[in-house]
Amino acid sequence: MKAEVRMHDLFTSSYDQLDGSIRSRVLSFIMKLSQDPEAPGLDYKIPKLAQHKLVRTARVTDNYRAVLIAAGADGDTSILYLVAVKKHDDAYDYASKLTLQVNPKTGAAELFDSAALGEVVEKARSVRPSAAAAPPLMPTGIKQKDLERFGVAPDIAEQLRQVTDEDTLEAIVSALPSSQGNAVLDLVYGKSPDQVWSDLVIEDPGEVDVDDIAAALHRPLSRLSFTAYEGENEDELRAVLEGDLAAWRVWLHPLQRKLAQHTGWNGPFRVTGGAGTGKTVTAIHRARHLARHLDTASTNKVLFTTFTKNLSRTIESQLKQLAGPKISERVDVVNIDALARRVVAATDAGRKALGDVRFVSAEGEEVRELWASAAMVGLGDWSPTFLADEWSRVVLGNAIVDEAAYLRVTRSGRAQRLTRPQRADVWQVIEQFERLMRSAGLMTFIQLAARAAATVATEPALRDQMGYRHAVVDEAQDLHPAHWKLLRSLIASGMDDLFIVGDAHQRIYGKPTPLSRYGIETRGRSRRLTVNYRTSKQILHWCLSAVDAEVDDLDLSADTLAGARSVFKGPEPEPHACDSAAGEDKALIAQINAWITDGLALSDIAVFAYDRKAVQSVADALADRGIASAVVTEQTDEDKLGNAVRVMTMHRAKGLEFRAVALVRLGADSFPPYYVQKMTGPERKLEEHKLRNVLYVAGSRARERLALIWTKKLSSLVAPPR
């Protein structure tokens, strides 16, 4: 009789502690177990001292045994949950301490070591607080009944309200069942009991039968700990357990799962949250869910788009890891610029217009020089920065093609007011700039997006030709109004049409863009994620100090990082103050060598600098010291880089993650860059806000280690490490 082998979240910590030879045996064991759990060689049995009738053990090797839960009907072997693999005697001892229960309040199935929980609570109770002790970590507004609402035992709830230090809190939370521990942490970090209930419990469990384990296992909250493995062979299982994306591939937060698998939103839905909170993970699961529910008789597809080319490649790879290579037949992953080009090239006129055009960044030096040249035809003293922004936000954003339309358009959100004569003067400059661009054979990507949106507007049949029924949009905060017009024109309004993911604190390209102006209404259909799975508590603290606490969201409201919390601890960010750029390189090399000594591979490490010149300088310094490195650009194929330190601009880091990150050239003389140092007033304030967002993005790519390196005086834009 075959078994469906699933996993409990406790299993990964057990698996991580095994050496390589035993891990391989574990993988083989799992495959054998799924074929026939009661095969004689597995020695599948009920341990004598087990507290619960569903606890089982089985032989992995002569010296190691697995601890399992038999979750099939009446405890049969049709469904088995792996809990741990330990040495023979340790496995039996662990099995004897496991408590399996149904939470009477939330209805979740809970598995935990009751003896370990009792020990940490007793230890916390025995500590007498000193007169100078810090106040309790639990907010004063959280009462004991609020903790008991989530099934926390009264004596433990009482103790949790008295805990004053993070180590004690973490010890108790770690020993609690995951469902309870997550609720406790959300309450500590500022969420209301009702918010926590909505995010975790998801659906009212009704009257809970504490003896019905099978029913409990089907509740959303249980899947925070108990989940199914969907692979078909040992290689896929190894990828689940050992890949960089192991956690998100297997265990989703109940709120993430609810958002990913919901069906029936009457229009677009928006998900926000800080870096590392699993927004992209949720989006990837959402794309798979939408693809599974497409009409099999149609040729419709799901569009998954994001801002950068590197990130789109990463997402496509992750989606295939999650759902298999055939998912590409139903989900089209393409970055927004490539999508725009595809739309324009779908018509004869569009292909002709593209011709030999060379695409350039609207913020690049080449375009800045053309703006400076064009400004000479104007009567006003217009700065290239103002002109470029006016053209991008007002002209391209509103699909304006003539002076009359520009004179009429509402310039909402623009800080500088313009009289009618001033508008006429600016329009003359813009026309001259566009002539210079055409004569040079140049086009910006925003121009491309605007043309694509206009193409679909004039040729509606293109929508059917492209064949997208749904769209999942990642990194939404960086999209331009022209991008939103393009997406709205490509995806027909309807049920579950757009799933939009973004974080305004990570806006490093675009500017605030209320979606409702483009026929994308999400008010009343949005949720915010707060649990950070990627970045340690210490690094998260630094990242949060780098940005403004509250910024605009994607639809005329405020977005905040309040309540953000990490699920693990690590070292504090490491500061390196140096005398020169050469000193920075020396400090960087010493830091990399220290990380390597601690067991990190070169490919686990990344170095970020603000500009390309600094990136190349760092790469040269690493090469001089014999440290293998690779400069990451838009064209880089990550799979071909091998074991080398990744060196790139902070902008290029978006969407990536590494075990260790070094941020360099953070001195006041080099950051902000010179062109920003020359700015004054609101213009400089806006650029500095964007630069802080860049720092937040760059720092939050680090999972465990972060180093900050600068010459002489640390830039005022950089939060000093504690």
Residues in the annotated binding site for ATP: 273-280
Residue 107 to residues 6, 150, 207, 214, 308, Cα–Cα distance (Å): 20, 9, 8, 11, 42
Q: How far apart are CA 69 and CA 100, in angstroms?
A: 9
Place of tokens 């009482």: 158
Token pair recorded at residue 215: 């029913």
Cross-strand partners of 440: none
Q: How far apart are CA 55 and CA 100, in angstroms?
A: 8
Q: How far apart are CA 83 and CA 69, in angstroms?
A: 7
Give the strand pairing for 79-87 and 64-70: antiparallel
Q: What type of residue sits at position 409?
A: V
Q: How far apart are CA 601 and CA 539, in angstroms?
A: 20
Give the strand pairing for 55-59 and 4-8: unpaired
Ramachandran region, residue 494 (left: φ > 0; alpha: ψ -120 to 50; beta: rest): left
Q: How far apart are CA 632 and CA 628, in angstroms?
A: 13
Token pair recorded at residue 167: 């180590």
Report which DSSP code applies to 203: S
CB 378 within 8 A of CB 454: no
Name which of 483, 486, 545, 543 is nearest 509 in CA terms: 483
- The radius of gyration of the chain from alpha carbons, rounded to an integer in Å, stands at 28
Binding residues: 273-280
> DSSP 3-state helix, strand, coil percentages of the chain (rounded to 5)?
45, 15, 35
Give kind and range of the element (H or E) at residue 292: helix 279-292
Give kind and range of the element (H or E) at residue 187: helix 178-188
Q: What type of residue sits at position 704?
A: E
Helices 581-597 and 612-624 pack at an angle, to 10 degrees, of 60
Q: How far apart are CA 100 and CA 503, in angstroms?
A: 38
Length of the chain: 722
Nearest-5° Cα angle at 13, 228 to 260: 35
